[in-house]
Homo-oligomer: A and B are copies of this chain.
Amino acid sequence: MSQLVPPHGSPSLKLLLLQGAQCKEELKRAEKLKRVPMTTRETSDLIMMGIGAFTPLDGFMGHDDWKGCCDDFKMPSKKGLFWPIPITLSADQATADGVSVGSEVALLDTETDAVMGTMKVTEKYSIDKKHECQKIFATTDEAHPGVQKVMEQGPVNLAGPVKVLSESYYPEMFDIYQRPAESRKAFEERGWSTVAALQLRNPMHGSHAYLAWVAIEVCDGVYIHQLVGKLKAGDIPAEVRVKAIEALVNKYFRRERVIQGGYPMEMRYAGPREALLHAVFRQNYGCSHLIVGRDHAGVGDYYGPFDAQKIFNEIPSDALRLRPLAMDWTFYCYECGTMASMKTCPHESKAVIDDNGNYKGGARLLLSGTLLRKLMSEGKPVPSEFSKPEVIAILKEYYDSLEEKVEVKLHGAATGEAAKKK
């Protein structure tokens, strides 16, 4: 009997996304409303609310909830329910001045220029941004990408309940894009009660595979939950990652214990606080556990490697139904003869792999992205203890296709021929 964890603070998912005729009607109505442009973070938060991933929020937070989240991890408007990071909408002064409390506004995605939702404005307020940054990011350093976005946002926050009218390009662009109701259904169909979420933004090398493996040992299944969205330079596209993970799972796992899914939330890099937000929305997705590794959701050296694990011990025990699966740095150990972590492997020495991919002695084989790329680009074998050949083959195919494109471009620029053939 499948018995998934309930959504956060609610017996059912709170879906703010309108469907069909209702949605069309609201979109039409929205045409006449004053427009409030959203940052990419705000747009992604709105979609998360639309699909129920931010259950039980009804919209962007007012001042009391903003303060409650910052100072006490609590929303006064929801009987003090646990919430670790404020979900707010900002506006520049001119926009804010043109909006009156009680009016309705259309929420605009600045990237696509599309109306994403409407909001009934119940409050306009200003915040101490540095206070938010200090509480949420534990720093006010503007070199921190999360701090930077807060400091750059407009000076006024607008609050109120929202109706969500679009999921943007996610459903079309990403096969693995999934709403909480869909993941819950998939888990239930498999009879799962306990599900561990594995946050992943990379192809699954040996280390990630081991995290998933351990999670399956102690849960009914693992949900490989990937952030989908715009790529940064050097990122591997979602479809390539998904394919590489599929190849790995098909051969080395019990296929029926793994489900992949994608979600649209933008990273804040808030380390421990963000780990808690990840926990909240993973519970909404139906997960009973969240794998929290070293430096979860961190950036630079703003957070200690285990801060995101420790914070779960510091919040009240009834804050969340989801529990963390705290795991250390993992690697293959030639002396253990298996994958292991700093917590299990008693051997201290590092394994040495030469420039040709050959093992030269030592115990712990720590994943080196640099060496991996070097071996792959030179066509040399990657040790299977590092990453399975099936994964490497798919990545190699992808990189080769990139090179071809680059070659085509260069060639095309020189001769004007190749580009036309394409």
Chain A residues with CB under 8 Å of chain B are 1, 3, 193-194, 213-214, 216-219, 251-255, 257, 310, 313, 317-318, 321, 323, 325-328, 336-339, 341, 343-346
Contacts and interface: CB of A to CB of B under 8 A. Distances in A.
A12 to B, nearest CB: 17
Nearest to A339: B338
A336 B217 contact: no
A327 to B, nearest CB: 6
Contact of A218 (B218, B257, B317, B318): B218
A336 B252 contact: yes
Nearest to A327: B217
Contacts of A318: 318
Nearest to A2: B313
B344 A193 contact: no
A345 B254 contact: yes
A321 B317 contact: yes
B325 A218 contact: yes
A216 B328 CA distance: 10
Contacts of A255: 346
Given A194-B326, A216-B343, A253-B344, 15 more contacts: A1-B310, A1-B313, A193-B313, A213-B344, A214-B214, A216-B344, A217-B341, A219-B326, A251-B346, A254-B344, A257-B344, A317-B321, A318-B318, A323-B323, A338-B339
Nearest to A213: B344
Contacts of A325: 218
Nearest to A250: B346
A325 to B, nearest CB: 5
Contact of A327 (B218, B252, B254, B338): B218
Contacts of A328: 217
A144 to B, nearest CB: 26
A288 to B, nearest CB: 9
A391 to B, nearest CB: 16
A82 to B, nearest CB: 15
7 contacts: A213-B344, A216-B343, A217-B328, A218-B218, A252-B336, A254-B344, A254-B346
Nearest to A219: B326
A338 B214 CA distance: 12
Contacts of A251: 346
A386 B344 CA distance: 19
B346 A253 contact: yes
Nearest to A251: B346
Contacts of A346: 251-255
A3 B313 CA distance: 7
Contacts of A1: 310, 313
B218 A326 contact: yes
Contacts of A310: 1
Centre residue among A317, A323, A327, A346 by max chain B CB count within 10 A: A346
Contacts of A323: 323
Contacts of A194: 326
